Amino acid sequence: MTHQNSGTASRAAELVIDDARLMPIADKVLAGERLNFDDGITLYRSADLLAAGWLANYVREQRHGNVCFFNVNRHINPTNVCVAHCKLCAFGRSPEAPGAYTYALEEIWQRAEEGVREGATEFHMVGGLHPDLPFEYFLEVMRGLKKRCPGVHLKAFTMVEIGYFARIAKLSIRDTLLALKDAGVDSLPGGGAEIFDPRVRKVICDHKTSGQQWLNIARTAHEVGLRSNATMLYGHIETEEERVAHLLALRELQDETHGFVAFIPLAFHPENTGLAHLPKPTGFADLKTIAVSRLLLDNFEHIKAYWIMLTPRIAQIALRFGADDLDGTVVEEKIYHDAGATTEQFTSRAQLERLIRAAGRVPVERDTLYRPVDRSKMPPSPARRSDATLSIIV
Ligand code: V47
């Protein structure tokens, strides 16, 4: 059936809804009204992916028109040694386990300087909860990065790492965040949120920061002037109710602080994890989650389709299902690749632009806070790897 709502934009005439349960939701979206918990559940339970995607795309185009953002960044994971032993994770190791590593300070700085030569405007830095490294090590990492690469935004440490640093340094969350800010941290990435519900956390990340603590740390970060991203790890043991409750908890905090920059749904990769028996989320679930996120998170400016995790093909399609950002060039990715991701770890700026253009969008390079980057005012960065690194038919 075609949507017949009176008083809606003429574009609504394009909307075809097969599942009548989505009609009242379409009315709300087209009228700019906030969706509720039941709407989220209905969207998740409906097989009418195209109608949900149309609505999410409508909201996305109202905010960003035809623009799709990407950035030139580098991930750096200082250590994979971790005391948490989360079932969901294939990255963390005991100190003596094969493959355990911890970079020396110089190694981190060297990687960063390589990133600067490649034109990176952001370092994304997260790692394990190391039993022996003192908080001072991480402060020193940040000070050294700021000194050597003053123009690069440091997006570093998840709420989980912040909680751990506070514990080992015997500081309050606020003082921990202030110390990191003083050492050079500019914002925080969105990891570690997983699913907030305690039932799920007990199985997938038993010893990790609780959902409530994650939200409290994010609140404090925003209060001290550090903006952050937010994530949701989906496609493992969580129910639709737990996903929607997670999204609404983020929306509620965003109403309060306006500190979140972007939301990134993260598809669970089971290989080499304690949950390896679970199947991978499907492409349908990936696109539905992007669409539901765009529709429920009406106070988030950006929804990111993280190409490494979704694959470039699905991430590209997501640009028509609510996402307005593909994330970045990345260069070195360990968390997903340890868990069986088959995507490349690096893509070039040219490849990202090509994916975006082929989806009928206009690529805009952004910095971490979504300000456009004007390369004409920056020194040229030598192409480090061939554009053929990522081969994809678009
Ligand atoms: O916190 C861990 C998740 C996160 C697995 O803020 C897994 O811009 C799937 O947060 N399968 C790290 N996911 C990645 C992350 C991120 C990525 C890109 C951009 C931003 C940003 C943040 O990855 C972890 C955890 O939630 N994770 N193991 C796994 N097996």
**How far apart are the CA of 50 and the centre of ligand 1, in A?**
27
Residue for token digits 């606020």?
174
Residue for token digits 């952050």?
228
Cα dihedral 288, 289, 292, 298, rounded to 10, equals -140
Which ligand 1 atom lies nearest to the CA of residue 188?
A: 6
**How far apart are the CA of 231 and the centre of ligand 1, in A?**
8
- Measure the CA–CA gap between 240 and 84, rounded to whole angstroms: 26
Residues of the chain with CATH 3.20.20.70: 67-378
- Measure the CA–CA gap between 236 and 309, rounded to whole angstroms: 15
Contact 220, 181 (CB under 8 A): no
State residue 271 phi and psi, 5-degree precision.
-55, 140
Ligand 1, atom 8, residue with closest C-alpha? 189
Task: Please give the pLDDT value at position 74.
Answer: 94
Sheet hosting strand 67-71, strand order edge to edge:
325-328, 67-71, 362-365
Which ligand 1 atom lies nearest to the CA of residue 194?
A: 26
Task: Please give the pLDDT value at position 384.
Answer: 44
Q: Which of 162, 172, 120 is nearest to 139 (CA)?
A: 162
Residues, the chain: 394
pLDDT by 10-residue block (mean), the chain, 394 residues: 55 88 98 98 98 98 98 95 96 96 96 93 96 97 97 98 98 98 98 98 96 98 98 98 98 98 97 97 97 98 95 96 94 85 83 95 97 82 42 28
Which tokens sit at 149? 């690469």
Which ligand 1 atom lies nearest to the CA of residue 90?
A: 30
- Measure the CA–CA gap between 124 and 285, rounded to whole angstroms: 26
- Measure the CA–CA gap between 59 and 296, rounded to whole angstroms: 11
Task: Please give the pLDDT value at position 393.
Answer: 26
Task: Please give the pLDDT value at position 344.
Answer: 81
**How far apart are the CA of 191 and the centre of ligand 1, in A?**
5
Q: Which of 341, 353, 358 is nearest to 75 (CA)?
A: 341
Which ligand 1 atom lies nearest to the CA of residue 190?
A: 6
Instruction: Write down the pTM of the prediction.
Output: 0.94
Task: Please give the pLDDT value at position 8.
Answer: 54
Which amino acid, one-letter code, is at 5? N
Which ligand 1 atom lies nearest to the CA of residue 338?
A: 30
Kindly state which CATH superfamily the domain 67-378 is placed in: Aldolase class I (3.20.20.70)
Residue for token digits 């081969």?
391
Measured CA distances, 362 to 61, 140, 181, 250, 284 (Å): 12, 39, 34, 29, 25
Q: Is 153 helix (H, G, I), strand (E, B) or coil?
A: strand
Measured CA distances, 179 to 73, 126, 143, 360 (Å): 24, 17, 11, 44
Ligand 1, atom 28, residue with closest C-alpha? 89
Q: Supply the DSSP string of 232-274, one letter for each residue.
A: EEESSS--HHHHHHHHHHHHHHHHHH--EEEEEEEE---TTST
Residues with CB under 6 A from ligand 1: 88-90, 158, 189-192, 194, 229, 231, 233, 264, 266, 268-269, 273, 306, 327, 335, 339
Ligand 1, atom 6, residue with closest C-alpha? 189
Helix H segments across the chain?
23-30, 37-45, 49-64, 105-117, 135-148, 159-169, 173-183, 198-204, 211-223, 240-257, 283-296, 307-310, 312-318, 349-358
- Could you tell which of 164, 260, 266, 345 is best to mutate to test the pocket of ligand 1, judged by most ligand atoms within 8 Å of the CB? 266
Which amino acid, one-letter code, is at 361? R
